[in-house]
Amino acid sequence: MLKYAMIGGGPGAFVGGVHRRALALNGQARLVAGCFSRDLEKSRVLGRELELDGDRVYATPEELARLEAGDVDFAVVVTSNEAHYPNVKACLLSGINVMCDKPFTHTSAQAEELVRLARERRLVLAVTYTYAGYPMVRQMREMIARGDVGEVRFVNCEYPQGWLAEPVETSGNVQASWRTDPERSGGVLSLGDVGTHVEYLVPHVTGLTLTRLAARLDSLVEGRTLDDNGVILTEYDTGARGVYWYSQAATGTVNGLRLRVFGDRGGLEWFQEDPDHLRYTPINEPARIITRGTPELLPGAMAYSHTPAGHPEGWLLAFANIYKSFCDTIATGAAMDFPTGEDGLRGVRFMEACLQSSRQGTAWIDIP
Amino acid sequence: MLKYAMIGGGPGAFVGGVHRRALALNGQARLVAGCFSRDLEKSRVLGRELELDGDRVYATPEELARLEAGDVDFAVVVTSNEAHYPNVKACLLSGINVMCDKPFTHTSAQAEELVRLARERRLVLAVTYTYAGYPMVRQMREMIARGDVGEVRFVNCEYPQGWLAEPVETSGNVQASWRTDPERSGGVLSLGDVGTHVEYLVPHVTGLTLTRLAARLDSLVEGRTLDDNGVILTEYDTGARGVYWYSQAATGTVNGLRLRVFGDRGGLEWFQEDPDHLRYTPINEPARIITRGTPELLPGAMAYSHTPAGHPEGWLLAFANIYKSFCDTIATGAAMDFPTGEDGLRGVRFMEACLQSSRQGTAWIDIP
Amino acid sequence: MLKYAMIGGGPGAFVGGVHRRALALNGQARLVAGCFSRDLEKSRVLGRELELDGDRVYATPEELARLEAGDVDFAVVVTSNEAHYPNVKACLLSGINVMCDKPFTHTSAQAEELVRLARERRLVLAVTYTYAGYPMVRQMREMIARGDVGEVRFVNCEYPQGWLAEPVETSGNVQASWRTDPERSGGVLSLGDVGTHVEYLVPHVTGLTLTRLAARLDSLVEGRTLDDNGVILTEYDTGARGVYWYSQAATGTVNGLRLRVFGDRGGLEWFQEDPDHLRYTPINEPARIITRGTPELLPGAMAYSHTPAGHPEGWLLAFANIYKSFCDTIATGAAMDFPTGEDGLRGVRFMEACLQSSRQGTAWIDIP
Amino acid sequence: MLKYAMIGGGPGAFVGGVHRRALALNGQARLVAGCFSRDLEKSRVLGRELELDGDRVYATPEELARLEAGDVDFAVVVTSNEAHYPNVKACLLSGINVMCDKPFTHTSAQAEELVRLARERRLVLAVTYTYAGYPMVRQMREMIARGDVGEVRFVNCEYPQGWLAEPVETSGNVQASWRTDPERSGGVLSLGDVGTHVEYLVPHVTGLTLTRLAARLDSLVEGRTLDDNGVILTEYDTGARGVYWYSQAATGTVNGLRLRVFGDRGGLEWFQEDPDHLRYTPINEPARIITRGTPELLPGAMAYSHTPAGHPEGWLLAFANIYKSFCDTIATGAAMDFPTGEDGLRGVRFMEACLQSSRQGTAWIDIP
To the nearest whole angstrom, how far is the Cα of B251 from the nearest Cα of chain A?
5
Q: Which of B347-356, C169-178, C227-236, D85-94 has the lowest mean pLDDT?
A: C169-178
A368, pLDDT greater than 90: no
Of A265, A290, A313, at which residue does a domain stop?
A313
Nearest to B117 by CA among B98, B141, B143: B98
Higher pLDDT pick, C170 / D27:
D27
B175, pLDDT greater than 90: no
Tell me, yes or no, whether B260 and B303 share the same domain.
Answer: yes
What integer pLDDT is reported at residue D91 of this predicted model? 98
A8, pLDDT greater than 90: yes
Determine the average pLDDT of the residues in D11-30: 93
CATH of the domain at C264: 3.30.360.10
Query: Do the Cβ atoms of D6 and D19 come closer than 8 Å?
Result: yes
What integer pLDDT is reported at residue D190 of this predicted model? 96
Residue D123 lies in a domain: yes
pLDDT in tens, B217-267: 999 999 999 999 999 999 999 999 999 999 999 999 999 999 999 999 999
- Tell me what ipTM this predicted complex has: 0.95
What integer pLDDT is reported at residue D177 of this predicted model? 74
Under 8 Å CB pairs connecting chains B and C tally to 90
What integer pLDDT is reported at residue B163 of this predicted model? 96
What integer pLDDT is reported at residue D176 of this predicted model? 73
Determine the average pLDDT of the residues in A120-147: 98
Rounded to two decimals, the pTM is: 0.96
Tell me, yes or no, whether C195 and C105 share the same domain.
Answer: no
Instruction: Band the pLDDT of C281: cuts 50, 70, 90.
Output: very high
250-309 in chain D: CB under 8 A from chain C: 250-253, 260, 262-269, 279-284, 287
Residue A149 lies in a domain: yes
212-241 in chain A: CB under 8 A from chain B: 214, 216, 218, 220-221, 229, 231, 233, 241
Residues A316, D315: C-beta atoms closer than 8 Å: no
Cβ count near B200 (within 10 Å):
23
What integer pLDDT is reported at residue B168 of this predicted model? 85
Tell me, yes or no, whether C262 and C144 share the same domain.
Answer: yes
Whether chain D has a CB inside 8 Å of the CB on B70: the answer is no
Residue D336 lies in a domain: no
Rounded Cα distance, D165 and B269, in Å: 39
Nearest to A6 by CA among A34, A45, A44: A34
Q: Which chains touch A (3 or more CB pairs under 8 A)?
A: B, C, D
What integer pLDDT is reported at residue C180 of this predicted model? 74
Instruction: Band the pLDDT of A177: cuts 50, 70, 90.
Output: confident
Instruction: Band the pLDDT of B186: cuts 50, 70, 90.
Output: confident
Higher pLDDT pick, A244 / B54:
A244
Determine the average pLDDT of the residues in A208-225: 97
Residues C20, B1: C-beta atoms closer than 8 Å: no
Domain encompassing residue D92 = 2-129
Q: Which chains touch D (3 or more CB pairs under 8 A)?
A: A, B, C
Q: What percent of chain A has pLDDT over 70?
A: 99
Of D82, D109, D129, at which residue does a domain stop?
D129
Q: What percent of chain B has pLDDT over 90?
A: 90
Tell me, yes or no, whether A139 and A90 share the same domain.
Answer: no
Determine the average pLDDT of the residues in B40-61: 95
pLDDT in tens, C292-327: 999 999 999 999 999 999 999 999 999 999 999 999
CATH of the domain at D52: 3.40.50.720
What integer pLDDT is reported at residue A187 of this predicted model? 84
Tell me, yes or no, whether B18 and B164 share the same domain.
Answer: no
| Test mutation, C140, C268, C276, C289, chain A, max A CBs within 10 A | C289
Residues A165, B264: C-beta atoms closer than 8 Å: yes
Determine the average pLDDT of the residues in D100-105: 93
Tell me, yes or no, whether C14 and C116 share the same domain.
Answer: yes
What integer pLDDT is reported at residue D209 of this predicted model? 98
Phi, psi of C100 (to 5 degrees): -115, 140
Tell me, yes or no, whether C182 and C100 share the same domain.
Answer: no
Instruction: Band the pLDDT of A13: cuts 50, 70, 90.
Output: confident
To the nearest whole angstrom, how far is the Cα of D249 from the nearest Cα of chain C?
8
D294: closest chain A residue by CA: A254
Rounded Cα distance, B189 and B81, in Å: 11
List A280's β-bridge partners, or say none: A268, A288
Query: Do the Cβ atoms of D325 and D337 come closer than 8 Å?
Result: yes
Instruction: Band the pLDDT of B161: cuts 50, 70, 90.
Output: very high
Rounded Cα distance, D209 and D242, in Å: 12
Tell me, yes or no, whether B110 and B234 share the same domain.
Answer: no
Instruction: Band the pLDDT of C173: cuts 50, 70, 90.
Output: confident
Of B130, B162, B177, at which residue does a domain stop?
B130
Determine the average pLDDT of the residues in B195-205: 98
- Can you list the positions of beta strands (E) in chain C? 2-8, 29-35, 74-78, 97-100, 125-127, 152-160, 210-218, 229-236, 241-247, 258-263, 266-271, 277-282, 287-291, 365-366
Determine the average pLDDT of the residues in C274-295: 98
Tell me, yes or no, whether A99 and A224 share the same domain.
Answer: no
Instruction: Band the pLDDT of A253: cuts 50, 70, 90.
Output: very high
B180, pLDDT greater than 90: no
pLDDT in tens, B141-153: 999 999 999 999 9
Residue A161 lies in a domain: yes
Tell me, yes or no, whether A258 and A152 share the same domain.
Answer: yes
Determine the average pLDDT of the residues in A209-215: 98
Tell me, yes or no, whether A170 and A265 share the same domain.
Answer: yes
What integer pLDDT is reported at residue B283 of this predicted model? 98
Distance from the Cα of residue D210 to its chain's centroid: 18
What integer pLDDT is reported at residue B51 of this predicted model? 92
What integer pLDDT is reported at residue D173 of this predicted model? 77
Query: Do the Cβ atoms of D257 and D274 come closer than 8 Å?
Result: no
Determine the average pLDDT of the residues in D217-226: 95
Tell me the one-letter amino acid at C263.
G
Whether chain D has a CB inside 8 Å of the CB on A193: the answer is no
pLDDT in tens, D145-176: 999 999 999 999 999 999 999 998 887 777 77
Whether chain B has a CB inside 8 Å of the CB on A153: the answer is yes
Residue D195 lies in a domain: yes
What integer pLDDT is reported at residue B171 of this predicted model? 78
Residue A368 lies in a domain: no
What integer pLDDT is reported at residue C321 of this predicted model? 98
What integer pLDDT is reported at residue A278 of this predicted model? 98
Tell me, yes or no, whether A157 and A186 share the same domain.
Answer: yes
- DSSP per-residue letters across A168-230: GGGGT-HHHHHHH-HHHHTS-SHIIIIIHHHHHHHHHHH---EEEEEEEEE--STT--S-SEE
Residue A170 lies in a domain: yes
Residue C317 lies in a domain: no
Q: What percent of chain C has pLDDT over 90?
A: 91
Residues C231, D233: C-beta atoms closer than 8 Å: yes
pLDDT in tens, D306-338: 999 999 999 999 999 999 999 999 999 999 999
Domain count, chain B: 2
C179, pLDDT greater than 90: no
